[in-house]
Amino acid sequence: MKAVICSVIHKLGTFSRQSATSRTIFTAGLNGVRPEHEGYATDNGGKIYLSDVMQNIKENTEISRDHLTPEIALHLITPNCKLWTALDGDIIFPDPFWAFYWPGGQVLTSFVELNIRLNAELNRVHLHIDQRNLLGTVAEKWDVILLGDMFYDEVFTKVVADWLEILQRDFKKLILIGDPGRAAFVRHPISTKLKRVAKCELHPQCKMENNGLTYGYVWQYSS
């Protein structure tokens, strides 16, 4: 069985580093992997080194297993990190969406692990990362489509929902969605076509990152 996991790619984006004398702005569009010493060209003609990026991430995050899939350790911004209380202007990573383990992704990962024993079969799972935008493409080669936290914004919700409708109606794919019940999702008509297959209380840490949200849900799309 072939499954595709859809998620939003959170780029490191514009990376700024404060020094005593100057403020250097780097742009890190990290496409593909290169040796650490080669560096990436930036918009302003400079270079950024992967080792610097990794160092910055290590310095500003904490390795955390405080989430619904504790067998996976992740570098995350937690209340123990100084960026937790940083205001927009003070941070070296603008909008570090990648530094938080989103609730829909947590509950979906946990559900998938439980139900298809991903861990046990890890050695036989072939993982392929495709950075192209697959929305709107015909997903013929996959049997299962998994989406985590894709419904956080009204416009994007519509794009994803239209795509899923076609996949379900014309191709009868198995579609599983992880979402904590965000407004854009629950208000969209797609929610009437979903069957809830899992509900999980979020960890206190995750609740703190998502004021007002308390549960993560996995939904199965059915016509």
Query: Using the rule CB under 8 A, is 80 a contact of other proteins?
Result: no
- Range 18-37, binding other proteins (CB under 8 A): none
Query: Using the rule CB under 8 A, is 85 a contact of other proteins?
Result: yes
Pick the closer one to other proteins by CB: 10 or 193.
10
d(CA 62, CA 78): 7
- Contact characters 140-179, other proteins, x per CB under 8 A: ------------xxx-------------------------
d(CA 108, CA 114): 10
Please measure the distance between the N-terminal and C-terminal CA atoms of the chain and give it in whole angstroms. 22
Label the pairing between strands 3-6 and 144-148. parallel
Tokens coding 59: 């310095």
Q: Residue 180 to residues 66, 96, 140, 153, 202: CA-CA distances in angstroms?
A: 17, 20, 28, 13, 9
Number of residues that bind other proteins (CB under 8 A): 28
Query: Using the rule CB under 8 A, is 71 a contact of other proteins?
Result: no
Query: Which range touches other proteins (CB under 8 A), out of 51-59, 65-73, 96-104, 111-119?
Result: 96-104
Q: Quick one: CA torsion of 154, 159, 126, 28, rounded to 10 degrees?
A: -70
- Contact characters 187-216, other proteins, x per CB under 8 A: --------------------xxxxxxxx--
Given the rule CB under 8 A, which residues bind other proteins? 77, 79, 83-88, 91, 95-97, 100, 152-154, 182-184, 186, 207-214
